[in-house]
């Protein structure tokens, strides 16, 4: 397992809300409910987290990175979504979606389930298949899949996570696509899948704390 990039993880933390000591439990409940494949109502989320609906609404009003439907139910939260994107997730027989390629690497740890990923190259649109478990990337097809990455402006992310961040984070195939991408996208970097997984795990462990995750996700050995 690749060691996490500590400096990069520190640069990414400001793009996320301060979930807080109590709010982090609400985050875990929201991911779990959303992963069932249905919109999550505020009352339902409150019951699942043991909060009052008023307290949940107040907490969510301070966070960004949330998508609601016309009925006020949550349909997307920090990378996990119910509506189709280019990153399709098959989770325990359920069809879910991710906002960007990086999300597909850290969501299995947050959900505690193995995920089959069907995505496409950001450069060519070629198909990419992955299997990702809470403990790491199990396999990929083709073999040499990489992750383009760009640290966004934190203020811009508050106005729209997907526009400011997700559109710069995609899968690439091999050295040729990588070299072309770096030439055409100044400021970007490219990570291996293992590096991307380790980075996602490091960021979310810092955001939520190790006690909310199983031991196989907490282990940080390289």
- Please name the helix (run of DSSP H) or strand (run of DSSP E) that holds residue 120, with its range, or none: strand 115-120
Which are the contacts of 216, defined by CB distance < 8 A and separation ≥ 6?
A: 134, 135
- Predicted TM-score of the model (pTM): 0.93
**Pair 155, 102: CB distance under 8 Å:** no
CA dist., res. 6 & res. 3, Å (int):
9
Strand 189-192 and strand 87-91: the pairing is unpaired
**Pair 135, 129: CB distance under 8 Å:** no
**Backbone phi, psi, residue 120, to 5°:** -140, 150
CATH class, 6-16+78-213 region: alpha beta
**Pair 33, 62: CB distance under 8 Å:** no
Note the pLDDT of residue 221: 45
Q: What tokens appear for 54 in the block? A: 């008023």
> Tens place of pLDDT for every residue, the chain, 222 residues?
677 688 999 999 999 999 999 999 999 999 999 999 999 999 999 998 899 999 999 999 999 999 999 999 999 999 999 999 999 999 999 999 999 999 999 999 999 999 999 999 999 999 999 999 999 999 999 999 999 999 999 999 999 999 999 989 999 999 999 999 999 999 999 999 999 999 999 999 999 998 887 666 665 443
CA dist., res. 117 & res. 129, Å (int):
6
Q: What tokens appear for 124 in the block? A: 């060519």
**Pair 136, 197: CB distance under 8 Å:** yes
**Scanning the structure block, which residue is given the tokens 């690497």?**
105
Which are the contacts of 10, defined by CB distance < 8 A and separation ≥ 6?
A: none
The residues that are catalytic are 100, 103, 166
Q: What tokens appear for 202 in the block? A: 């490091």
């Amino acid at each position: 397992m690749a060691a996490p990039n500590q400096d990069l993880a520190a640069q990414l933390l400001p793009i996320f809300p301060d979930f807080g000591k109590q709010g982090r439990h609400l985050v875990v409940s929201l991911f779990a409910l959303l992963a069932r494949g249905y919109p999550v109502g505020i009352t339902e989320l409150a019951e699942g987290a043991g909060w009052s609906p008023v307290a949940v609404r107040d907490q969510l009003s301070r966070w960004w990175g949330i998508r609601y439907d016309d009925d006020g139910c949550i349909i997307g939260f920090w990378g996990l979504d119910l509506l189709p994107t280019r990153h399709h997730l098959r989770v325990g027989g359920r069809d879910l979606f991710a906002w960007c390629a990086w999300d597909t690497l850290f969501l299995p740890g947050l959900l505690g389930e193995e995920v089959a990923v069907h995505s496409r190259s950001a450069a060519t649109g070629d198909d990419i298949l992955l299997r990702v478990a809470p403990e790491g990337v199990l396999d990929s097809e083709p073999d040499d899949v990489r992750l383009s990455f760009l640290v966004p402006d934190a203020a811009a992310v508050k106005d729209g996570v997907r526009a400011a961040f997700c559109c710069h984070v995609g899968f690439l195939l091999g050295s040729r696509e990588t070299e072309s991408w770096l030439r055409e996208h100044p400021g970007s970097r490219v990570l291996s899948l293992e590096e991307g997984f380790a980075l996602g795990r490091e960021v979310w462990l810092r955001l939520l704390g190790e006690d909310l995750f199983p031991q196989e996700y907490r282990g940080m050995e390289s």
